[in-house]
Amino acid sequence: MVNDLTVQQELFSQEIAKGNNNQSACYRIAYPSSLSWKDSTVHSKASILMTNGKVMARIAGLQATVEKHVLYTMEEHYKELEECRQLAITKEDISNTIKATELKGKATGKYKEQIDIDMTVKQIIVNVVVGGKK
């Protein structure tokens, strides 16, 4: 048992923390015998399990671990892209400056491919970031 959870409770917690399935689907993975049960029964059992304090604490702990790893990875990725961007600016390499800036925007979710604007992203970067140098 992990943290005083049964094997099934631990598996249920892990499945919930992954975020790929709803509670009922996670319950069915953790408790294979429930595959033949009515949907309403599985939903009820999964809901009850989600109110278990130990299960809730385990899910929160798993999610915090995943979140910390993802945030660290994104921060490092963003930092590396900024370093590449600065190097490209220093070398007056417009193409790579644009690419690094675009990738930074995508990594942070701020850049949308479907943006409909008068100036292209490349024109903006050339005019603002690089000061119009070609």
Would residue 81 count as lying in a domain?
yes
Which amino acid belongs to residue 113?
E
Residue 74's CB is within 10 A of a number of other CB atoms, namely 13
On whether the CB atoms of residues 3 and 58 are closer than 8 A, the answer is: yes
Q: Is the pTM of this model over 0.75?
A: no
pLDDT of residue 10: 92
pLDDT of residue 74: 72
Residue among 56, 15, 57 nearest 34 (CA) = 15
* Residue 2 or residue 56, greater confidence: 56
pLDDT in tens, 78-115: 788 888 888 888 888 888 878 887 787 777 666 555 44
Would residue 65 count as lying in a domain?
no
Would residue 64 count as lying in a domain?
no
The verdict on 124 and 84 lying in the same domain is yes
- Domain residues for the domain of 84 are 71-129
Q: How far is CA 3 from CA 6, 61, 67, 94, in A?
A: 9, 11, 20, 54
The verdict on 45 and 79 lying in the same domain is no
Average pLDDT across the chain, whole number: 78
- Asked if pLDDT for residue 119 goes beyond 50, the answer is no
Would residue 60 count as lying in a domain?
no
93-104 residues labelled b (16+ CB within 10 A) or e (exposed) = bbeebbbbbbbb
- Strand, coil or helix: what is 109? coil
Would residue 29 count as lying in a domain?
yes
The verdict on 75 and 103 lying in the same domain is yes
The verdict on 47 and 75 lying in the same domain is no
Residue among 122, 123, 132 nearest 92 (CA) = 132
Would residue 59 count as lying in a domain?
no
The tally of domains found in the chain comes to: 2
The verdict on 125 and 84 lying in the same domain is yes
pLDDT in tens, 45-71: 999 999 999 999 998 888 887 766 656
